[in-house]
Amino acid sequence: MDPTRVRLTIPDSVDPTVLMGPADLLLRRIEAAFDAAISVRGNQITATGPSDEVERVVSVFSGLIRLIEMGESPSTADLDLLIGQVSSGVASADDFPDDILLTYRGRAIRPKTSGQKRYIESIRDNTITFGLGPAGTGKTYLAMAMAVAALKRKEVSRIVLTRPVVEAGESLGYLPGTLEEKLDPYVRPLYDALFDMTDLEKGNALIEQGVIEIAPLAFMRGRTLNDAFVILDEAQNTTPDQMKMFLTRLGFNSKMVVTGDASQRDLLGVNGLETARRVLGGVDDICFVDLGRNDIVRHSLVAKIVDAYERDDRASAGPARRDAK
């Protein structure tokens, strides 16, 4: 069968040197990833080879062009994510959605995978959204971006961020420092995400004014959260009673996002996340979104680590099931 040849024209609005990367680094990476010959002359990219491989090459370049047209300079991490999506058939160039938020540095925050896109759409369309998945899938980060965007649009008057405090073999009361200093390590990931979207001075000012509140889950008891965007992080470490307590804090004109990763539990026994899914799975205006390996947007090695642990879990569960018979 004759090889397929496709020619792609680089738009005038796109700098070819940015598209190819410094010293053609991105181009070489694409060549290594696919079984197709790629040549670049001026603003013309020609891919020759098996039709399916050529189609993937064109999809990758189209995705990079779309990123550049949205004002980004694609990195090797962006390219590796795009190659993985195209190779697995879970994304195309048209899967990139609109911006959620511009950070104070002017960087656009947007979903980078089809799963993340479903997650964002669910947050927009539902009052309560559960974002479930492994590390690196952007569960907390995207929820935080949606919260900050809602605050800037004056859709809510405050943001409430909370996490359960689980003592991993240590008694919190015996740790040195004030209560705030003892709790800081538990809520620090929420601060990190917040300060990536707002500058440190403005973020601290909003916290001091009470517009943004970051607190342990136990502090939510007895409250009603009206006109607020509320995020519960690390929900796999809640008890069923804690989860029920949290969800019933929902007030008028409020939105809740619950994030969790079942593989990173520090709490023994049945957790609140499992119970919530079983009890609330069919309730209107509550949505459960599962994110997976293809939605990991951290270093490419993170996806391999997740895969390795999942294989080990399956191998360990096999003998256990046989022993139980």
| CATH class belonging to 101-312 | alpha beta
Fold of 4-95: Ribosomal Protein S8; Chain: A, domain 1 (3.30.1370)
Longest CA pairwise span in the chain (Å): 73
CB 108 within 8 A of CB 68: no
Per-residue pLDDT tens digits for 144-162: 999 999 998 999 999 999 9
CA–CA separation, 171 and 142 (whole Å): 32
Per-residue pLDDT of the chain (325 residues; tens, 9 = 90+): 678 899 999 999 899 999 999 999 999 999 999 999 999 998 899 999 998 899 889 989 988 888 888 777 888 878 887 887 787 665 544 554 556 766 666 677 888 888 888 899 999 999 999 999 988 888 999 999 999 999 989 999 999 999 887 644 334 455 555 555 656 666 777 788 888 888 888 888 998 899 999 888 888 988 999 999 999 999 999 999 999 999 999 999 999 999 999 888 877 788 899 999 999 988 999 999 999 887 887 666 776 787 788 788 778 766 555 555 4
Number of Cβ within 10 Å of residue 11's Cβ equals 10
**Identical fold, 4-95 and 101-312:** no
Per DSSP (E only), the strands in the chain are 4-9, 37-41, 44-49, 101-102, 108-109, 128-132, 158-163, 212-216, 228-232, 255-260, 286-290
The pTM score is: 0.73
Alpha carbon distances (Å) from 131 to 38, 141, 168, 218, 273: 39, 11, 24, 21, 10
Task: Look at residues 32, 26, 2, 30 and name the one whose alpha carbon lies nearest to residue 14.
Answer: 26
Q: In the numeric block, which tokens belong to residue 68?
A: 């550049």
CA–CA separation, 23 and 10 (whole Å): 18
Domain ranges of the chain: 4-95, 101-312
